[in-house]
Structures are given as C-alpha cells and as structure tokens.
Amino acid sequence: MCLRFVYRGNEVMTGFNFDIDLAQWDHQVIEEEDRFYIGIMRPDGIRHSYHGVNCNGNVGTLLYVHGNPAGAYAGGPGTITIADLTEQFIQARLFLDDVLRILRIRRIVYAPDATMQAMLSDREGRTLVIEPGIGWRLEKGRYSLMANESVLDWESTRPYRTEGDDRYQQADRILRSCGETLTIPESLELLRQVKQEGKWATRVSFVYSAGEQAVYYVQNGQFRQIRRYAFH
C-alpha cells in the first residue's frame, strides 16, 4: 500500500507514502549527490531506485496494484518493464519527453515478480500515470493522485479494494480544498493523515519541493522527526 500525489499550484509539490511489509522488502533511505531514493534490495544485490527524486526534478514512484493479464511480463526489444522505466527516469537516464516517446512505440509490462502502476513527474509538474495493460495518461488539472487502484480504469480494480481503505478519498478531499498553494507543512500533514499502521505500515514519507529543490522526509510515521535533504 502506498500513496502518491503531485500538486500543481504556485509551486509544484510532490508527496509519497511508502507502505510495505518488512518481511517482504528490505529498504533503506539513500541520499546521494544527485538522487534521493528508497533503495529496495533485489536479488542482484543492488538497492534499486524505484521510488525517488533526481536533482533535475524527476520524481518517480511505483505502487502495487492488482494486475491484469494484458500487462503480464514479457521480454523482447518491443517491451520494457514499468520498474525499469521508472528507475531510469529517477536516474535521469530518461526525461519526461523520452518516456512519452517510449510509451508510443513500446509495450509497458509488469516486472516478473510484481504488478505495479507508476506516477512520473518533472520539475514543471508535468505528470504521467502509467498502468501496464491499461495505458497511460499525461495528467491535467490542479493535482494528480494515486493509491493502489487503477486511475485509468477504476472498474478493473474495484473488486479488489480493501474494505475501509479510504486513503484516496481522504487525500482527494484535502487536495480539492487547497487553493493556489500547497505548502510543505500541509503536504506532510496530508501524508500523516493517510499513513498506515500494522503489517503494511508507512515506512517512509517524503515531500519534494521543486521550488526549494529539497526533500523533506520522515521514517516509520515519526512526523515530529522531519529531516531535510537539499540538492546542491
């Protein structure tokens, strides 16, 4: 379970809650000169950057979603996994226009071991929603929001919604009520209000301010212990 938003007001603000089962995923917050990311340990022994921010303003995140057969993993030159696409965006090996070109000529598929949806955004607030097997959309409007359900085809994941899970609805109400500006404290408070407890608790929450070129983050729901990481 995770939640991601992009708010396009007077300043572009991005927020993400990373909710995982520690028994399944080994993660670590990593601060590098050109990247801030949640490093996920994979079988190759590398901590991959599937959720993070590049100093150029690229922000990419993957969220678990109930899969569909049309997005099933397949190899070959005509395909690329949603995980590889997202990581290359966070690494700045791809820019948003590059991703748009790829979306038009290649089939986006799930990774072999996980069914994920992605939200990719840049410093200007341009935002892509990508869902293997369903499609993609360049977002418009004041904000974009994603929370483990299909954004492009709600009905496809409706039977799999967890009863009582209203994170999307809570966040949507907050974002709809905002005016021209969503501040860093307001963004963090939104993430606090929808954080999870228990087995799939919120392990990392971060807000990226495009104006400050800085990331504010907390770990394990400790919103009184906010850390700031600025790109130089």
Per-residue pLDDT tens for 152-192? 998 888 777 777 789 999 999 999 999 899 999 999 999 99
User: How far is 228 from 215, CA to CA, in rounded Å?
Assistant: 6
Per-residue pLDDT tens for 88-113? 999 999 999 999 999 999 999 999 99
Query: Model pTM?
Result: 0.95
Q: What is the pLDDT of residue 211?
A: 95
Which is nearest to 216 in space by CA: 189, 194, 178?
189
Listed by start position, the domains of the chain span 2-230
CATH topology of domain 2-230: Penicillin V Acylase; Chain A (3.60.60)
Q: What is the pLDDT of residue 1?
A: 79
List Cβ neighbours of 217 (8 Å cut-off, separation of 6 or more). 29, 36, 204, 205, 206, 207, 226, 227, 229
Side chain identity, residue 26: D
